[in-house]
Amino acid sequence: MTPEPFLGATDHTPVRHHILSVLVENKAGVLARIAGLFARRGFNIYSLAVAPAEGNARFSRVTIVVDAESAPLEQIVGQLDKLVNVVAIKDLAPRDALERELLLATLSVDNANRGEVLDVTANTGASIVDVNATSVTVMLAGTPTACDRLERALESFADVELQRTGRVALPRLG
């Protein structure tokens, strides 16, 4: 059985997405509270990235890419804000946001396709971060669009194991 593609085969960016940069208390169950809220209110999450905020053990930053068509953004933010562990929400429209994402992919290589792998890596700005006799792992840290491009370029290879982090974002300066 082939699982449904997550977001369609080639485009990982929802039609009308927004990025919510959510500062939360670093407490047990916070992620479940956020995920549960999205599930029970029928809001769609496209990606979610969590890490301690500014090296602070007390708070974490959750970057959520939401589908602003599944529910009005105002409603998503309003409900999210009611979670007691949510400290602050920054709503970033894509044009105002500096978005980055990391992609790792491991590919089978042999003498026949080794050159092609090197070409794709070079052309997409990715780098090779691990190698053995039969495989290489490439990495790209870049814009979601760049990651999309690399992912499409890798579609022609067999046995690709690919993992993306989901995007993180900060407001653009100036």
Partner 1 sequence: MQLTGAQALIKSLEQEGVDTIFGLPGGAILPVYDPILDSSIRHILVRHEQGAGHMAEGYALATGKAGVAMVTSGPGATNIVTPIGNAHMDSTPLVVITGQVATAAIGSDAFQECDITGITMGITKHNFLIQSAHEIPRVVAAAFYLATTGRPGPVLIDLPKDISQSTMEWWYPESIEELDLPGYHPEVEIDERAVARAVELISQSERPVLYVGGGTLKSRAHKELLAFAERTKMPVVTTLMARGAFPDSHDQHLGMPGMHGMYSAVTAIQKSDLLISLGARFDDRVTGQISSFAANAKVIHVDIDKAEINKVRHADVSLQTNVALALGALDGASASPQNLDVWWKEIRTWQERYPLVYDEPTDEGPLRPQHVIEAIASRAAPGTIVTAGVGQHQMWASQFWRFEEPGTWVNSGGAGTMGFGVPAAIGAKVGRPDRTVWCIDGDGCFQMTAQELVTARSEGIPIKVAILNNAYLGMVRQWQEMFYEERYSEVYLSADLPDYVKWAEAMGCVGLRAHNLKEMHEVIEKANEINDVPVVIDFRTDSSEKVFPMVASGASNDDIIVHPLLRGGAR
Sites of contact with partner 1 (CB under 8 A): 24-25, 28-29, 32-33, 36-37, 40, 72, 74-75, 78-79, 81-88
> Which residue number, 86 or 150, has a Cβ lying nearer to partner 1?
86
d(CA 148, CA 81) in angstroms, rounded, equals 31
Rank residues 67 and 99 by Cβ distance to partner 1 and give the closer one: 67
Query: Pairing state of beta strands 135-142 and 86-92?
Result: unpaired
Alpha carbon distance 22, 60 (integer Å): 8
Is 89 within 8 Å of 81 (Cβ atoms)?
Answer: yes
* Distance of closest approach, residue 19 Cβ to partner 1, in angstroms: 19
Residue type, position 105, single letter:
A
Q: How far is the CB of 88 from partner 1 (least distance, A)?
A: 8
Selection from 149, 141, 161 nearest residue 123 by Cα: 149
Question: Of the two residues 49 and 87, which places its CB atom closer to partner 1 in the complex?
Answer: 87
The smaller minimum CB distance to partner 1, of residues 34 and 120, is found at: 34
Q: Exposed, middle or buried by CB within 10 Å (0-12, 13-18, 19+), for 104?
A: middle
